[in-house]
Amino acid sequence: MTVLYDSVLAVVAAAGLLTLLRLVRGPGALDRIMALDVLATMIIAGTAVGMAARGDPTPLPVLVVLALLAFIGSVTAAHLVEKREGMR
């Protein structure tokens, strides 16, 4: 089971790295917002896997807070971008 958890974590981490690459590349603000949203999802998934691996429910509230923050953050940022575009 340990090998399974480790390999699953490795795959999620690889996915996070690919997402980071998109975050760096852009090209627009919206792509970066999207990448950040996906990155938050990856962190939630990784934390959940770590929880299962150790059988330790301590990070459970972190998952909830991250899910909330990711939503509020990306919606607000996307809204601001949209407003800025509307001004032109």
Partner 1 sequence: MNALNTARDAVTAVLLPAGAAFCLLGALGLLRFPDTGSRLHAAAKAQTLGLLLVLVGTAVQMPLRHAPVLLLVALFQLLTAPVTSQIIGRAAYRAQALDHRLLLRDELAERLEREGTPAYGQEREADEEDEGR
The binding site for partner 1 (CB under 8 A) comprises 1, 4-5, 7-8, 11-12, 14-16, 18-19, 21-22, 25-28, 30-31, 33-35, 37-38, 41-42, 44-45, 48-49, 51-52, 55, 57, 60-61, 63-64, 67-68, 70-71, 74-75, 78-79, 81-82, 85-86
Dist. CA 43–CA 61, nearest whole Å = 13
Q: Are 63 and 44 in contact (CB under 8 A)?
A: yes
Dist. CA 25–CA 19, nearest whole Å = 10
CA terminus-to-terminus distance, the chain = 56
Residue 3 CB, shortest distance to partner 1, in Å, is 10
Residue 80 CB, shortest distance to partner 1, in Å, is 9
Q: Counting beta carbons within 10 angstroms of the beta carbon of residue 45, is it exposed (0 to 12), middle (13 to 18) or buried (19 or more)?
A: middle
Residue 31 CB, shortest distance to partner 1, in Å, is 6
